[in-house]
A and B are shown apart, each in its own frame.
Chain A
Amino acid sequence: MGDGSISSDQAGVRRGIGPVSSDDGFRRILAVWFLSAVCILLLPVVSWAHGFAGKRFFPTTFAVDDPFVSDEFSLLFNHVKSDPEVKTTSLAVELSKRITPNLGISVGEQYQHISTSGNGSENGFGNIELGIKYQFLTNEEHETIMSIGLGTELGGTGTRRVGAESFSVVSPAFFFGKGFGDLPESAKFLRPLAVTGVVGPNFPTRSRNVIFNPDTGETETERNPVSLSWGLSLQYSFIYLQSFVKDVGLGVPFNRMVLVAEFPMETCMSADCSGKTTGTINPGVVWAAKYYQLGIAAQIPVNARSGRTVGVLGLVHLFLDDLYPKGIGNPVFP
């Protein structure tokens, strides 16, 4: 989380002693979750199947969170050389579960392996991430989905050596997805296009860390900035093209592919990094079968703060509602 220019400091010298106690932070998270749950339950109910808006199927993408709720299990592999000396490989796991047809929760975890040339390597888990999302709009005719959600990274649940913070981060967000199937006949080959996006702030539960530097023997104060996550994914679906626009004769496996270009970004909004943006452009392809989805994408940093080399993302995604339609694939309260 946060801008890389301030958060990727000296590994092994951080001693987080913040002015806000962990109890206060936890109470704050509980309060935000409670208020969000109340707001979500007061919204109107419009129901539709997971990832669909009319005839549009929105696949799960790599780094930009989906606009829909679902019963799904994801494995996301990432390998990147963040600077010439450091290689990071991670495997993230996320389980999403619908409570009602429009309300879903998720839990995520990430295992990281960081190797530094000449200095060995570190392994460990990131902080546990919890999420709740409410899909409040599904418009079939205009292939539109909108959701609101709240994510929380639980501080202190991961391994400090691989950068897991001791404080939590609370992230309310707005999600949307729009397919262009309603374009006129003259632009019919643009109908397979769709866009999804997310925007929302990230609030750390501790405003700053006091860190002790054993090399200098001095303490330093590091501010934990509020940031804004925003991202888009552009998609061109060969499934849509073949099924609803024109059968151009694509065979297996191309007839199940969706070309995807993602733009996950984060802009720092406070502290020394204020106004600075980091992010990547992730061009890739997703292949959707009946029960699962596979994907691969490149990860290209948009500026020097975001990295210097191209990484790779790999996705394996299981549709639990299709695999287990009579069991755990159903909403708890259908």
Chain B
Amino acid sequence: MKRTENIQRLRHSGAIRTYSLLILTAFFFISPDMSWAHSFPDHSDPKVGATVAGPPGHVRIWFDGALEPAFCTLAVQDSGGKKVDKGDGRVNPADATLLEASVPPLPSGTYRVIWKVVARDGHRTTGDYTFVIK
């Protein structure tokens, strides 16, 4: 009799644990806040690591989520580490996924783009890449 009760208790405990796991799993799959997560670059112009024929005029990076304009920066440096952009790096007012800066006519060489962005939920991501002007 006691053995039967123990088996029933074990089955009951196993069922509770199974249902708890199912409910926990369902909870995380259903109705998230649906705000913005970490933002990653989607594509850029000039492209990452690309060689371009002439000065690009602008450096633009499109991200996979909306950015918080107040905390996003973009700078362009030459191979000596000197800042060469016009200092107007910002999130495009008409497209919150686009970070851009204009650059003056630049001579041939290797340039580094350095960016820092904060997504709408406060998550920060940073990065850099180079491109070459022939």
Contact = CB atoms under 8 A, between A and B. Distances in A.
Interface string A309-334: 00000000011111111110100000
Interface stretch (A4-12, A217-225, A243-251): A243-251
Given A49-B124, A55-B126, A243 B38 contact: no
B37 interface: yes
A306 to B, nearest CB: 28
B49 to A, nearest CB: 3
A209 B88 CA distance: 71
| A interface, size bucket | 35 or more
Contacts of A247: 43-44, 47-50
A54 B33 contact: no
Contacts of B14: 124-125, 159
Given A111-B18, A246-B48, A73 B37 contact: no
Contacts of A291: 32, 37
B17 A109 contact: yes
**Size category of the binding interface on chain B:** 20 to 34
Contact of A322 (B18, B123, B129): B123
Interface string B83-97: 000000000000000
Task: Summarize A's interface: helix, strand, loop or mixed.
Answer: mixed
B40 A322 contact: no
Interface in B33-66: 33, 35, 37-38, 40-41, 43-44, 47-50, 64-65
Interface of B: 10, 14, 17-18, 21, 24-25, 28-29, 32-33, 35, 37-38, 40-41, 43-44, 47-50, 64-65, 121-129
Interface of A: 49, 52, 54-55, 57, 73, 75, 93, 95, 109, 111, 124-125, 140, 159, 188, 239, 242-247, 290-291, 318-327, 329
18 contacts: A49-B123, A55-B126, A55-B127, A55-B128, A109-B17, A111-B18, A125-B14, A159-B14, A239-B40, A243-B48, A245-B129, A290-B65, A318-B28, A320-B28, A322-B38, A323-B33, A324-B33, A326-B33
Given A95-B24, A329-B33, 4 more contacts: A57-B38, A247-B47, A319-B37, A320-B28
